[in-house]
Amino acid sequence: MEPTASRRPRRRVDPALEVESDPQELMPRRRPTQERSRRKFDALLTASRDLLVDVGFESFTCEEVAARADVPIGTLYQFFANKYVIVCELNRQDLVGVQQELEAFKGEVPSIDWLRFLNKFVDHMAGLWTSDPSRREVWLAMQSTPSTRATGVIHEKEFAEQVARMLAPLTPHTARERRTMMAEVLVHVVYSMLNFSVQDGQSHADAVAELKRLMAAYLLVAEKESRSS
């Protein structure tokens, strides 16, 4: 006898694969406060980066991360619910690092040499992508599920808020809402182009040069429109 619909067992769906109407940021279950726990937490993230580069996200497992970090699997699960949370934490870590570096440059916009600053900062970020292959692997992993993509959008919006504040002196008469949207566009384009630049067979230098041209043209138009309005 064929089971009725109400009696059929429900197929379990990985929560990271579900599309939510109000997606929430995937975050660690807790962040360590004591030095010993912080060392384990950092060791797990370092091992995760190495594993992503070695095997890619599809073959990435929490068990292998714990083994490489020499940390009990139970300890890993105290911090991270699953591998999707791990990769989201790596993405957050990458963005926080860039935000801290960008903060050091904020006084250079809108100096008369802001285009030189732009070129210098893009070169700096491009160097991060070539020297650390895990950045591209993290970015690719973030595209793997609806929940990781949604978390990536949240991270980009937080970064864009900082960029929007830096754009304010350059575009003094632009509405705040439009400046925020401009900043989100810039952040998304920069990250997409940097990951494009390190694809196999791609000329990194040429891609970075095109990124500079895109950003400079976009910002020059934005500055001109703002000051003439």
The three state secondary structure string of 52-121 is HHHHCCCCCCHHHHHHHHCCCHHHHHHHCCCHHHHHHHHHHHHHHHHHHHHHCCHHHCCCCCHHHHHHHH
DSSP structure class, residue 150: H
pLDDT number for residue 92: 94
pLDDT digits (tens, 9 = 90+) for 1-33: 444 444 444 444 455 555 455 668 999 999 999
Length of the chain: 229
pLDDT number for residue 113: 67
Angle made by CA atoms 109, 156, 129, in degrees to the nearest 5: 80
CATH number at 88-228: 1.10.357.10
Take residue 34 and report the two structure tokens written for it. Answer: 């004591």
The average confidence (pLDDT) of the chain is: 86
What mean pLDDT comes out for the span 189-213?
91
pLDDT digits (tens, 9 = 90+) for 63-120: 999 999 999 999 999 999 999 999 999 999 998 888 887 776 665 555 556 777 788 8
- Dihedral, 200, 201, 202, 204 alpha carbons, nearest 10: 80
CATH number at 23-79: 1.10.10.60
What mean pLDDT comes out for the span 186-213?
91
Domain chopping of the chain, boundaries: 23-79, 88-228
